[in-house]
Structures are given as C-alpha cells and as structure tokens.
Structure 1
Amino acid sequence: MEANYKEYDFEKSRERIDEILNASENNYLESNQIPSIDNLTYTNGYHINCSALFIDIRGSKELATKHQKKVLAKIYRAYISELVALLNGNPNIRQIYIEGDCVWGVFNTETKDQIDKVFQTAFEANSLIQTLNIKLKKRSYSQLKIGIGLHYGQALVIKAGYKGSGINEVTWIGELIGKTAQYCSYASKGYRKTIILSDVFHQNLNEHNRSLCQKVSYTDYYEGDIVSTYMNDWVQQNG
C-alpha cells in the first residue's frame, strides 16, 4: 500500500484504538464465499471456508548475489508477471498477493470441482516455472527453484488500515494462511517434492488427482512433482 504523509496525532490515535476495541464482536459472519472488498468495513469481518495457494522461490539470497540488479529485476518481473496471470486465470480466484519472492492467492472453493481447479493451477505453476527456466538458461541467467503449498480451511478476512487515509488492505487471519505458508516452506527442501498439499485438501480432490500425490509419513500432508501435460510438451521439446 502506498503511503500519503499526514502528521501523526497521538490523541486521535488513542481514539481510534478505543473505537476499534469497542466495536461489536457480532459483526463477523460465517460464509463459504469470499466477500467483495466493497462489503468490508473497519468494523466487520467474515469467517470464510476457502482454499489458498502459495508459490515461493528457494535460494533467493543466492540468486541476488549472482546477477546485477537490472538482470535480477527482469527475472523477478517475468516470475511475478506470469504467476499472477496464471492465478488470475482461475475463475475462482478472489485475492492475489505479492510478498517478496512469494505470490499467493485465495480461492472460492465451495465444490470439489473448484478444489481440483486450484490443484490444476498449482501444477500449471510448476510447469510455468520450468518454461521460464528454459528461457532463463538460454540467456545464461540463473534458473529458479520454487516451492508450492496448498490448503483448504477457514480464515477470518477483515479490512485493516488507517481509517480515513485511504491506506488499507484486505487482511487474512488464521489457520488457512499460516498452514499454507508452512506447507509452501516445506516444498522443494531436502527430499520434499515441489508441491505440498494438506490432508484435507488432498481428500477433496477427485480420484485421479489424489493418485498423483504421495502421503508423507508422520505428517499431515501429501506431496508431488505434478506438471501440466500440455505445458510439459513444450518444455520437453525446448529444454
């Protein structure tokens, strides 16, 4: 969010704190649909059952030491541009965020078909990075390694920011976002495969998609190195 300087007023700050803390706790609604941003105020919120997908780069610190900043900017722009385009191409996407190396989104998933569609977006992201790596390699740039996390669960979504300033953000609180980020952090590390998905996300996939993943013993998640057949044809022909 972009700042717009305004002198800080300590007295007004105390008043805003009281206003927020005194707000009714009955303004938080249960829903299986992610609300429109227009429906969010500074005093309400929604408990949402939905899915999240996180994609993050591995070894980004090393990547930053191998290239000049202008080259690094091109790599990151290509990475972020096309992941955002891919997530935005899922008809159930509702919010997309860019946080450092991580691109993540939340999706309406009221049906199992919609959860399968999020899974498809995840393995297409895997193929997309393989595609990008071919183009990076041809320019003698470093190739990217990513981890992908998937989860279905509940989150509290609120509007948070500085009231009256125009500086605000839709903020997600709770197990859904934290767990998805955690699964993403496990992916592509050690012996773990590129895509990590929670038990609950896996059990809601169709039979074919479930068969593509392997249970990781003594954990609450599955893993896989799934790719898009269509996209992988190009990768194989051009790699």
Structure 2
Amino acid sequence: MTYDYKKGKERVEEILDNEITIPDSNIPTDEKFTFKNGYYSWVTAIFVDVRDSSKLFSKKGLENKKKTAKLIRAFTSEIIEILRETENFKEIGIRGDCVYAIYNTPYKSDILDCATKTICVNTYLKMLNKVLHGRGEEVFKAGIGMSTAQELVIKAGRSHTNINSKVWIGEAVTRASNLSSLGEKEFDDRLVFSKASYTNFIEGLKKGNADTSSQKVEGWFTEFKDEDGNICYHANVINKEFNHWIEFEM
C-alpha cells in the first residue's frame, strides 16, 4: 500500500482547522473557487429522472443494448439542450439515468425561467414519446423535480490534482432529486415542485398567461405533502405553442 496515512491525517487536520471564507453572493465561475472558500447563494436545481430504467438497461443482447443506447442519447441530448439555454446554470450533467442542472437564481425571474424550462422538458417528452410510438418503440416515463433554496457551494476533492468538483450543501439539489422520483410514479403528472420554487414562480407564470384566469393557472398545480411533511406541488403543464406543433404539425 503506497497511501501515506500519516500525511493523510495531517491533511485532514489542516482542512478541519482551516477557516472557510463564505461571501453571501452570486455563485462565480469555477476558477474563483478554491479549497479554502465557498459561496452562499439562492440556487434552483432541476432533475429529470427516467422511470423503470433498470428494466431498460438490463435488456439482454447486443441489438437491444444498441437500441437502448439510442433511446438514452435521444432522451438526454435534447433535455440538456433545453436546460443549458441560460447563463445562470452553474452545473449540468448526467447521473446514471438522470439529467440534472443547477442554477444561480437570486431573483424570482430566474426561478420562473427554471420553471419554464421544466415545462418545456415536459412537452419535449410528449414529442419524444410520439416519435417513439410511431417507430414501434417503448415510450419513456419520467419525473421532473425542481427545488429552490439557499445553498453553500464549495470545491471538494484533492488539491493540486484535477480530481475535484463543486459540492452543493443544502436542500435544493437533494429535494429536486427526491421530487423527480415521484413524477409518473406517485402521480400521473411528471412535474413536481418544492414550495419555495412554486411560490417564487407562480405570479410570473400568471402574468405570462394573461389570457388565462389566475385561478385557472393556480389550478394547474395540485398541492400535497411529501414523506417528510413538506408542502409540494405536482402538475402536467405544457408549452402551448410547442404542444400545438406536436398535435397538428409534427
């Protein structure tokens, strides 16, 4: 064993003794992060999680695996395209069968923009499933979770190496992931929002749908409590223009 555990203990002690500088500000670019600072800011996370992925991934035979590879690429590529269309995203990627994105959202307009992205993803999945159905393929089921909270963001890993990453300490990322596991599983709806997300985007969503009564816009969402007693909302809101194209022109 070549690991120098004595030096390792010294490094651990040094990390634990360090004072962390934590300004309350917007999350900066990656190069501003060090192993001795962190940033505390409002963030919003979105997770898009495939249902029954173990069944999809475990199909036997090379041809089935190639077909699955195409399905997963189709699923992930366009969702990433939708989620990345903003300067506010600070991290975006794929975890197994899940596409996720994390955004700096200091203003309500930023949170509304994130909600709009989830609605676009929901509508895209309708398009994708129509394409798959037309090809005789199995359609996707997925949950789309979104949560907003103040997070402490730090750089973690091993200094002086390229093995490091940002770590989000708070509930936005964890809750978005948990909420995504409920869509098209606990409910028929795909979209699931935390209360903090909902209360910060609902007024903007009403204004953006001025031709629809406020009560009807609120009626798109159903309130419920998750297993921890937190108030959340599920919905099946879609982009009207996008959906019209799917239904009548695609």
- Whether 1:9 and 2:4 are equivalent positions in the alignment is yes
Aligned residues: 231
- CA deviations 1:55-114 (Å, max 9, x no partner) are 111111122244721111111111111111111113422211211111111112222222
Question: Which range is displaced more, 213-222 or 127-136?
Answer: 213-222
Query: SS at 1:30's partner residue?
Result: coil
TM-score computed with the length of structure 2 as normaliser: 0.84
Query: SS at 2:23's partner residue?
Result: strand
* Superposition pairs of residues 50-65 of structure 1, within 5 angstroms: 50-65=43-58
Query: What's 1:181 paired with?
Result: 177
Q: Distance in 1 between matches of 2:31 and 2:157?
A: 15
Q: What is the percent sequence identity of the aligned residues?
A: 32
- The answer as to whether partners of 1:160 and 1:171 remain within 8 angstroms in 2 is yes
1:192 is displaced (CA, Å) by: 5.0
- Whether 1:236 and 2:250 are equivalent positions in the alignment is no
User: Please, which runs of 5 or more residues in structure 2 have no aligned partner?
Assistant: 210-216
- The answer as to whether partners of 1:63 and 1:142 remain within 8 angstroms in 2 is no
Q: 1:166 to 1:235 in 2, by over 3 A?
A: same
Q: Distance in 2 between matches of 1:173 and 1:97?
A: 18
1:8 is displaced (CA, Å) by: 3.4
- The answer as to whether partners of 2:133 and 2:139 remain within 8 angstroms in 1 is yes
- Whether 1:213 and 2:207 are equivalent positions in the alignment is no
TM-score computed with the length of structure 1 as normaliser: 0.88
- The answer as to whether partners of 1:90 and 1:118 remain within 8 angstroms in 2 is no
* Superposition pairs of residues 65-76 of structure 1, within 5 angstroms: 65-66=58-59, 68-76=64-72
Query: What's 1:22 paired with?
Result: 17
Q: 1:13 to 1:81 in 2, by over 3 A?
A: same
1:52 is displaced (CA, Å) by: 1.2
Q: How much is the aligned-residue C-alpha RMSD, in angstroms?
A: 2.0
2:34 corresponds, among 38, 41, 49, to 41
Residue type at the aligned position of 1:230: E
1:168 is displaced (CA, Å) by: 0.8
- Whether 1:94 and 2:87 are equivalent positions in the alignment is no
* Superposition pairs of residues 84-233 of structure 1, within 5 angstroms: 84-207=80-203, 208=206, 211=218, 212-216=220-224, 219-233=230-244
Residue type at the aligned position of 2:27: I
2:79 corresponds, among 79, 83, 98, to 83
Residue type at the aligned position of 1:199: K
Residue type at the aligned position of 2:103: F
Query: What's 1:3 paired with?
Result: none
- The answer as to whether partners of 1:196 and 1:221 remain within 8 angstroms in 2 is yes
